[in-house]
Amino acid sequence: MARRKQIYEGKAKILYEGPEPGTMIQYFKDDATAGNGAKHAIIDGKGVLNNRISEFVMVGLEQIGIPTHFIRRLNMREQLIRQVEIVPLEVIVRNVAAGSLAKRYGLKDGEQLPRSIVEFCLKSDELGDPPVSEDMITAFNWASPQEMDDIMAYALRINDFLCGMFAGVGIRLVDFKVEFGRQYEGDMVRIVLADEISPDSCRLWDAATGESMDKDRFRKDLGGLTDAYREVARRLGIIRDNEETSDTMGPVLVSNNDED
């Protein structure tokens, strides 16, 4: 097996150097964290499902003209992606009041918002991802006004696409978080969707029962996280009813080797 260099290990994924310059391999771990890492657990098979779901969503988004970092899935836990310079923002789109929005502004959980709302937080574990305004973002040069125009437009188009996709399988898209990056091509630079879109980064409620089918199951100790993610994948037609989505391929098999 080819040795590869680990570039970064985050809370839910590991990034390895890719086979060609400008590419990386994104490995999906089973780790679940909440409250900025305060709570942590290993949830069997989560990474496999997120890899598949994120692939499915990114391919769909490419088809409607949203540029993404996704190139192709390599195996159960890994996908080949384009390396980008991450814009240090968590871009949150909300359709229904829940989570921090409901708490912060005293809204009722589950209340439909008057329109979709885009919110920005600074991506900083140290600072606890504080909310930031567009004015602050451009003043501190986290992103330029032109980049913010692209990010805003893409975020809303992603929301429209996801709302329709999930509504079609009886799932209510409450909110989600995305990250964008800069892809340099010669002296051109463009904004592309990066990271992942999965039940780790979306709030998904069963349209019929209102049950959480996302990481809130972990945040709220409801259990059944893998089953819920499997159900999302099954409804979207990503996995078959009895398809195996657990594996024994730990990151140890693809671990960093400093001698390279």
Ligand X SMILES: Nc1ncnc2c1ncn2[C@@H]1O[C@H](COP(=O)(O)OP(=O)(O)O)[C@@H](O)[C@H]1O
Binding mask 6-25 for ligand X (x = CB under 6 A): --x-xxxx-x--------x-
Return the number of the residue (32 or 204) whose C-beta is nearest ligand X: 32
Return the number of the residue (69 or 230) whose C-beta is nearest ligand X: 69
Retrieve residue 200's tokens: 């780790």
DSSP H/E element including 145: helix 145-167
CA nearest neighbour of 162 among 129, 199, 190: 199
Decide: is 86 part of the binding site for ligand X (CB under 6 A): yes
Decide: is 216 part of the binding site for ligand X (CB under 6 A): no
Retrieve residue 194's tokens: 């990066």
| Helices 145-167 & 46-63 angle (0-180, nearest 10) | 110
Q: How many helices (H) and strands (E) does the chain have?
A: 6, 13
Decide: is 128 part of the binding site for ligand X (CB under 6 A): no
Binding mask 48-77 for ligand X (x = CB under 6 A): ---------------------x--------
Smallest gap from residue 92 Cβ to ligand X (A): 14
| Helices 46-63 & 225-235 angle (0-180, nearest 10) | 30
Return the number of the residue (47 or 231) whose C-beta is nearest ligand X: 47
Return the number of the residue (13 or 77) whose C-beta is nearest ligand X: 13
Smallest gap from residue 217 Cβ to ligand X (A): 18
Q: What Rg value do the Cα atoms of the chain yield, rounded?
A: 18
3-state secondary structure of 63: helix
Binding region for ligand X (CB under 6 A) out of 59-67, 81-89, 208-216, 236-244: 81-89
Residues in the chain: 260
Segment 175 to 214, residues that bind ligand X, using CB under 6 A: 179, 181, 194-195
Measure the CA–CA gap between 231 and 250, rounded to whole angstroms.
Answer: 23
Using CB under 6 A, list all residues that contact ligand X. Answer: 8, 10-13, 15, 24, 69, 81-84, 86, 179, 181, 194-195
